[in-house]
Chain A
Amino acid sequence: DTGVSQDPRHKITKRGQNVTFRCDPISEHNRLYWYRQTLGQGPEFLTYFQNEAQLEKSRLLSDRFSAERPKGSFSTLEIQRTEQGDSAMYLCASSPREAGPFYEQYFGPGTRLTVT
């Protein structure tokens, strides 16, 4: 049972460029979450998918951010026109079909984004 994987692990981009991150959840986990973690802070919720449906979005997810999960498997998070304030670690997590609020989320290693 492989864990949650994320690609790339590191991304350096210039301000104004678009970037896309990929997350592969644990197989058969139908719930997928994206979080953002800035230096010295805990992860902050961005968005949540159940299968291919995006069911919840944080107000942190501005219009420049878009997330997709086609076919309910892997997910992508795209940031358009990146800003220096987007520099952070982007974490993906997944949990199984029967998960409720008492069930843990399994986290990937994260993608560290640096906007110069």
Chain B
Amino acid sequence: AQSVTQLGSHVSVSEGALVLLRCNYSSSVPPYLFWYVQYPNQGLQLLLKYTTGATLVKGINGFEAEFKKSETSFHLTKPSAHMSDAAEYFCAVSAYTGNQFYFGTGTSLTVIP
């Protein structure tokens, strides 16, 4: 069985500060991991994904994530928060069959001016 856990349902950072959103996964097979962002009343937009190869993955809008197998983690970071980053962020792991994603419960990011 595969699953992800997002620690911290709400995170607040000051504008310009580091953003760190945590995601831990559980998978009996090599995981394929994704981060999505959701703005109010909108669908989900892919930020980045890890499949194989380089463990540091760069995505859109200055976000990146590092796959750490030893820690079963895939935390999302951004060096300097912008007001436009305020949104809901979801970590997901793909089923090995590719037939569905398993999503975490999400982290709501607030950026304080």
Contact = CB atoms under 8 A, between A and B. Distances in A.
Do A and B belong to a common assembly?
A: yes
Interface of B: 9, 32, 34, 36, 41-46, 49, 51-52, 90, 92, 94-106
A102 B94 contact: yes
Contacts of B104: 42
A24 to B, nearest CB: 13
A29 B104 CA distance: 25
Given A40-B106, A102-B51, A102-B94, A56 B99 contact: yes
A100 interface: yes
Main secondary structure of the interface of A (DSSP, over half): loop
Interface residues on A, range: 20 to 34
B98 to A, nearest CB: 4
Contacts of A108: 43
A93 B32 CA distance: 17
17 contacts: A40-B9, A42-B90, A42-B104, A42-B105, A44-B103, A45-B100, A45-B102, A95-B98, A101-B96, A102-B32, A102-B49, A104-B34, A105-B101, A107-B43, A109-B42, A109-B43, A112-B41
